[in-house]
Structure 1
Amino acid sequence: MAPPRKSAFPKELPEDFLLTDTEKKTWRLGRRIGQGGCGLIYLASQDLGRPVTEDTRFVIKVEYQQNGPLFSELKFYQRAAKAESVQRWRRSRGLDFLGVPAYWGSGLAVWKDLRYRFMVMERLGSDLQKVCDGNRGRLKKAAVLQLGQRLVDVLEYIHENEYVHADIKAANLMLGYNDREQVYLADYGLSYRYCPDGVHKEYKENPKKGHNGTIEYTSIDAHRGVAPSRRGDLQILGFCLLHWISGSLPWDSVLMHPTKVQEAKAKLMDNLPELVQQLSVSGASTDEVARFLLYIKTLDYQEKPDYKYLIELLGGVVSRRLDFSMPHGASGEASAIKAASRDKKAGGARGANRAQAVPPEGVHQGANRAQAVPPERVHQRANRAQAVPPERVHQRANRAQAVHPERVHQGANRAQAVPPEGVQQGAKPKQVPTQYLRGPPLARPQSPQREEGGVRRAWWSRSHPVYTCEDEEEEEDEGRPKPIAACYLRGPPVNPGGASKQRRSSRPPQPEAWRRPPPFYSEETESSRRLYEEDLYLLQRRSGEAQRPASTTVPWFVSVVVFFLLVAALGASRSPLRLL
């Protein structure tokens, strides 16, 4: 059977399935309690005689054998996280607790022709990310500094065992199952052996491997594609501490662009401690985190950090209990956000009922406000109404008269089509007055220098003939539709035929082309054509644009000049006619 994709979650194993690890210990599977990365997590027990109980101390993480994250995590636990080595480290450092999960075994299994890899670990509680989400993304400063000190101890242990974590974040910090005071650094799927056999990896940038890890907290070295190191682990921890105290990071708005996140982190490290101190919130300064990051900036890629000094920078050894309650000020922000969301949801209902919910005193206030208008404003309004120029009045009158009959009927039908609920009971719908009917739209002028007397064609000219003001009486007698005012008529297009501008400019002038009827008259009768030309000439004669035919008579001053030339010619000659 072909192996499944590496990124797919494995098919669930049945409950009470038995697994045998490499040390020949047998484990019984219980119900599935979660998933992480590409694996599933089950309850487990060494008691094979009965089903797994809910209070068991062990869990088993299962993935397909081809997956890489569990293999990397398994190698770390096998080399550096055995229970015996953790206990020896605690005794040598005088620590009561070290937040490294205990490793109990691993192995391979086959079910329905699918090969699985599993790992048995200590059972842990919920992660720290859920605590941060409940506190609006923030923690109390004292709790953050205590977490930082405990994580420095964990990092020192795994660094001494030639590994780095490379993915420190709240989602990978697990609280104890029975004791929430115990915080574990879990999920070593991205762990890296930086110093195999005591030889540190060299600094080498590889753009193809850039931006590895969680983009919010990953180190600047990881952005550049450099292999993880101890300096990178501590820098990631510093970014986490800054986020837990202030509730935000300067690059939160550009997380979709890894290069911009890298630039923002480099700017923060280049401007220490000022930019970090600017992120301080009320009652929680970031001075300790600024000093923490400032020390990390001085480290070389292969340099071993001073872990004791880092603990001192975070406030020294603190024996108080961890307090994960909501910090001061975060509750006010949370309540404000909840109130804003409630107002947003109820805004529609309030808006709909706002007109009905006006109290009686509000009505009286509105009436008093209307009566309290000063006299000078009343006179201004009256003068403004009287100050309409006469030409505006005539334009409105002409526009009301120029309404096409079909538009009038449409307006009447629209007025009668009012739904019954919109009309008061016992009242008939009123016809829309002519003054409120909209006339034809003003046509766009062909050029900015066109005079007002130019002829324009109405928007319905393609289906109805054009009429002028001169024939109003005759048309009324014949029962034709009402004529269209000249101000709404538009003349025929210049040079019809669609020729380009260059060709029109190169042709000789055609004085009679403007008298040619528009293309839509090509199918009309000869009588309609003559009527159009007569109407056009009458309108242009009224506006002074009509061209009169040239006169064939010789001007008088030409006759006078010819006469004097003849007289001069006769006087200069010897002909007897000069005596005349």
Structure 2
Amino acid sequence: MKWPQTRRLCRLQHMQKWKQRRKLGFLGIPTYWGSGLAEYNDLRYRFMAMDRLGSDLQKILEHSGGQLKKATVLQLGRGLVDILEYIHENEYVHADIKAANLMLGCIDPEQVYLADYGLSYRYCPDGVHKEYKENPKKGHNGTIEYTSLDAHKGLAPSRRGDLQILGFCLLHWLCGSLPWEKLLRNPTQVQEAKARLMDNLPDSVLELSVRGASTDEVEAFLSYVKTLDYQEKPNYKHLKDLLASVHTGGLDFSVPQEPAGGSTTKPTREKKAARVKRPPKAKAVPAEVEDDEEEEMKAKPVPARYIRGPPLTKPQAQSPKEVEDVPAVSRSLRTRGSVTYMEDDSESEEEEDDEDEEEEEEASPRPIAACYLRGPPISPGAQSKQKYTGRKTDGFSAMEIKKRQLLSHRRKHCEAQGGRWEGGRPTHEWAALKLQEKDRYPPQIQGYEHTHNSEQEAPPTRRNGWFSMFFFAGVFFFLGAALGVCQREFKPF
């Protein structure tokens, strides 16, 4: 919005006086509360406070397929005529009316506000209207889809230009399309299409009539705008009467039930006609199935790498030749997981029972192989002796089993001969090991005895600790006694 020229139009007191004078209950212009400058981090910012608004009408149109109900379109038109009359009486025009600039109220969605005054223009400064002067350099200003013919010619915006823009918007919202929608990239062609529409009134608008909702009101609106002069003041009351409607309720933004007619329905009809020309597909007869159809019906095997979950244990019992021999009526497609296969209906019940049994077997818990268990193998009598090495083992290895069998055989042989068996060895072997240790280790560490086990060695134990203590104590006593004798012998007289 251009400040400070237009901010006085949005002041609450100014709008309240206008509504009392015109006996209006609502005027769709956002209230201006204040503006100013603010400084932050050595930067100056301009701000403006106004009413909080909701969604725009363009989003509603996109949701409803670009078309609104006729009663809603006429209600929006009457409200916008009130807004334009207020703006025009204050020497300004909006010049950019479209669905994207129409905002719904945040508190009451049925109240529609006209926002975005970035292209607003003061057409009558100090009561003097701008002259009619075409300027090709300023041509096609505004939103190309709805802008007026005056803007296409480069004329300054005027009151009849605002009303013509509003008429194009009403026509679009009612019919769902405009004749120049596909020409928007070429503004000159859009200008020519709009000129043809205005020159051929009322027939050009009546051709766009939708089924169940005529365009008589919009055609009368545009016909009146066509009669206006560039500097002429419109009759706003007459315009509101042209857009009168029997419906007096709130705005209804629901999707219209009747499809759009005119140019929007022609492509769909052509497509339907083209579809009718195509030869109809022959219906499949169960008793007479062609070979090609049978090949298409046959399920193709899916590679195992594309199948998720456990592999299917059910084999393909029938060969392709056997499947061809089965009548087409008795065959049916069955799907299991991501695999589709052929099945005979006569044996479907038995196979379903088999599948249920297989599913029950798959669902029941199965013992886990020992190779997938962490830790030493669990077996009686070997939990304390088995040493875990971090490798996966499936019970005892063959060498350990042979070793245990050999030890058991030696033990039985030793006991049969009257010998004694201790710690996995005969007693005479332990005596031989002790003699070897005495010969192997020096005398100063012979006090330690090493005991051996069949699978692990026990730490050495101290046996002559008390003997060493008494030995050192005797040595100290002997030295003390010798020192006392020496002191008595060499005592001076």
Residues 512-544 of structure 1: per-residue CA shift (max 9 Å, x gap): xxxxxxxxxxxxxxxxxxxxxxxxxxxxxxxxx
Contact 1:283/1:328, CA 8 A, preserved across alignment: no
- Judged with a 3 Å threshold, the aligned counterparts in structure 2 of structure 1 residues 277 and 115 are, in CA distance, closer, same or farther, namely same
Question: What residue identity is the alignment partner of 1:283?
Answer: G
Structure 1: which amino acid aligns with 2:48? M
Q: In 1, distance between residues paired with 2:219 and 2:210?
A: 14
Please, which runs of 5 or more residues in structure 1 have no aligned partner? Answer: 1-69, 341-357, 369-580
Deviation at 1:360, TM superposition (A): 6.7
Distance in 1 between residues matched to 2:293 and 2:23, nearest whole Å? 83
- Counterpart for residue 180 of structure 2: 251
Say if 2:148 is the partner of 1:198. no
Matches within 5 A, 1:277-288: 277-288=206-217
Structure 1 residues 365, 180: closer, same or farther in 2, change over 3 A?
same
Aligned residue in 2 for 1:97: 26
Do the aligned residues in 2 keep the contact of 1:311 with 1:317 (CA within 8 Å)?
Answer: no
Residue 147 of structure 1 corresponds to which residue in structure 2?
Answer: 76
Q: Taking structure 1 as reference, are residues 361 and 262 closer, same or farther at Cα in structure 2, changes over 3 Å only?
A: farther
Distance (whole Å) between structure 1 residues aligned to residue 287 and residue 61 of structure 2: 49
Q: What's the offset of the Cα at 1:261?
A: 0.4
* Residue equivalent to 1:274: 203
Counterpart-to-counterpart distance in 2, 1:318 and 1:92 = 25
CA distance in 2, matches of 1:242, 1:105: 37
Counterpart residue number, 2:289: 363
| 1:156 aligned to which of 85, 107, 115 | 85
Tell me by how many angstroms 1:321 deviates.
Answer: 1.2
Distance of 1:367 and 1:191 partners within structure 2: 69
How many residue pairs align between the two structures? 278
Shift of 1:329: 2.4
Q: 2:251 maps to which residue?
A: 322
1:80 Cα deviation after fit: 1.3
Deviation at 1:130, TM superposition (A): 0.8
Going from structure 1 to structure 2, the CA distance change for 1:76 and 1:214 (only over 3 Å counts) comes to: farther
Would you say 1:185 and 2:111 are equivalent positions?
Answer: no
TM-score where L is the length of structure 1: 0.45
| Shift, 1:112, TM fit | 3.4
Return closer, same or farther for 1:360/1:228 CA change in 2, 3 Å cut-off: same
Distance 1:112 1:265, change over 3 A: same
Counterpart AA for 1:108? L
User: What is the CA–CA distance in structure 2 between the aligned matches of 1:294 and 1:320, rounded to whole Å?
Assistant: 27
Q: Cα 1:318–1:207, aligned 2, differ >3 Å: closer, same or farther?
A: same
Q: Deviations over 1:84-114 (max 9, x none)?
A: 0111111111111010110011112333344
What is the alpha-carbon distance in structure 1 between the residues aligned to residue 206 and residue 51 of structure 2?
39
Aligned to 2:140: 211
Equivalent residue number for residue 129 of structure 1: 58
Question: Higher relative CO (CA 8 A, sep ≥ 6), structure 1 or 2?
Answer: 2
Counterpart in the other structure of 1:505:
none
Structure 2 residue corresponding to 1:230, chosen from 153, 159, 170: 159
Aligned twin of 1:438:
none
Matched residue of 1:75: which SS? coil
Change (3 A) 1:119 1:360: same
Provide closer, same or farther for how the CA distance between residues 303 and 316 of structure 1 changes in structure 2, counting only shifts above 3 A. Answer: farther
Q: Give the corresponding residue for 1:511.
A: none
Pair 1:305 & 2:231 matched = no
Residue 316 of structure 1, CA deviation: 5.7
CA distance in 2, matches of 1:327, 1:301: 37
Q: Alignment partner for residue 38 of structure 2, among 109, 118, 122?
A: 109
Decide whether aligned partners of structure 1 residues 246 and 360 sit closer, same or farther in structure 2, where only a CA change above 3 A counts.
Answer: same
Change (3 A) 1:307 1:361: farther
CA RMSD of aligned residues (A): 2.8
Q: Percent identity?
A: 67
Give 1:93's aligned amino acid. Answer: R
2:46 and 2:248 map into 1 onto residues whose CA distance is 40
> Could you tell me how far 1:330 is from its partner in structure 2?
4.4
Give, in angstroms, the shift of residue 331 of structure 1. 10
Which of 282, 286, 296 matches 2:225?
296
The aligned amino acid for 2:99 is A
Name the residue aligned to 1:239. 168
SS at match of 2:21: helix
Q: Which amino acid aligns with 1:242?
A: L
CA distance in 2, matches of 1:280, 1:166: 27
| 3-state DSSP of counterpart to 2:44 | strand
What's 1:170 paired with?
99
For 2:18 and 2:247, locate their aligned partners in 1 and report how far apart those are by CA, in whole Å: 20
Q: How does 1:157-556 map to 2 (within 5 A)?
A: 157-315=86-244, 319-330=248-259, 363-364=289-290
Provide the TM-score with structure 2 as the length reference.
0.53
Deviates more, 1:75-84 or 1:257-266: 75-84
Deviations 1:235-265 (A, max 9, x none): 0000000000000000000001111100100
Partner of 1:119, secondary structure, is strand
> Residue 180 of structure 1: CA displacement?
1.0
Answer with 1 or 2: which has the greater Rg: 2
Amino acid paired to 1:78: R
Q: For residue 383 of structure 2, what is the aligned residue in structure 1?
A: none
Conserved? CA contact 1:169–1:217, under 8 Å: yes
C-alpha distance in 2, partners of 1:304/1:263?
A: 26
1:357-385: CA deviation from partner (whole Å, max 9, x where unpaired): x99767338699xxxxxxxxxxxxxxxxx
